Amino acid sequence: MFEIGKYVVNPSNGICRIADIVQLDFQEDSNARQYYLLVPTQNEEAKVYISMNGAEKRIREVMSSNEAWETIESMTDIRPVQIENDRMREQYYKDAINSCEMCKLIGAAKTMYGRRMKRDQEGKKLTAVDERYSKLVENAIYSELAFALGKSQSEMPELIELKLNQIEEA
């Protein structure tokens, strides 16, 4: 069970604060359910309701600062995947985003980066699917790492590159 005031990650809404636990009765019967009322950090006007029943599959706590640094340090260990079929690759991207698992998001990002490099060498543009999911995946990665480290999202690419270069030199 998550506590009021905690920050969680939800695949559809990014980082959210648990504002309250409420009881909602959508069907006007006596079986009202309890829901977490989430407020996304990127849109404090929005309200998201997640049933407490099975919430662990739909939200998770935001990583700590230590976990964020460990994640950055482990980025070199995560490998991209090679999926030639466009539909299967798109499904892979969707699954990575919906999983909210940082290692899957990083794997998807590396896959897209590799495709971008290959297509650039061939003189081709990135496909619309890769372009769309690239932005979603990068936002998911950078927003959580930035939040955990108390940084801005715009600082993350440079910070990650710096940290990975330090690891390489060591």
3-class DSSP state of 136? helix
31-63 per-position pLDDT tens digit: 678 999 999 999 999 999 999 998 988 999 999
Name the residue with tokens 């599959």. 57
Q: Looking at residue 28, what DSSP letter applies?
A: S
pLDDT for the residue numbered 170: 67
> Rounded distance, CA 91 to CA 93, Å?
5
Q: Are residues 76 and 143 in the same domain?
A: yes
152 lies in some domain: yes
82 lies in some domain: yes
Residue 107: closest CA among 129, 125, 89, 120? 89
Burial 119-155, CB ≥16 within 10 A → b, else e: eeeeeeeebeebeebbebbbebbbbbbbbbbeeebee
pLDDT for the residue numbered 54: 87
Q: Are residues 122 and 162 in the same domain?
A: yes
132 lies in some domain: yes
Q: Any bridge partners for residue 7, and if so which?
A: 17
> Rounded distance, CA 88 to CA 76, Å?
24
pTM of the model: 0.87
Q: Are residues 156 and 109 in the same domain?
A: yes
Residue 102: closest CA among 161, 65, 62? 62
Q: How far apart are the first and last CA of the chain?
A: 41
Confidence of residue 167 (pLDDT cuts 50, 70, 90): confident
Domain CATH code at residue 157: 1.20.58
Angular region, 76: left φ>0, alpha ψ -120 to 50, beta rest = alpha
Q: Looking at residue 50, what DSSP letter applies?
A: E
> Rounded distance, CA 48 to CA 52, Å?
12
Q: Are residues 21 and 80 in the same domain?
A: no
Region 18-38 average pLDDT: 83
79-101 per-position pLDDT tens digit: 999 998 989 999 999 999 999 89
Question: How many domains are there within the chain?
Answer: 2
Residue range of the domain that includes 22: 7-61
Q: Are residues 78 and 123 in the same domain?
A: yes
Domain CATH code at residue 23: 2.40.10.170
Q: Which of 38, 61, 84 is the last residue of a domain?
A: 61
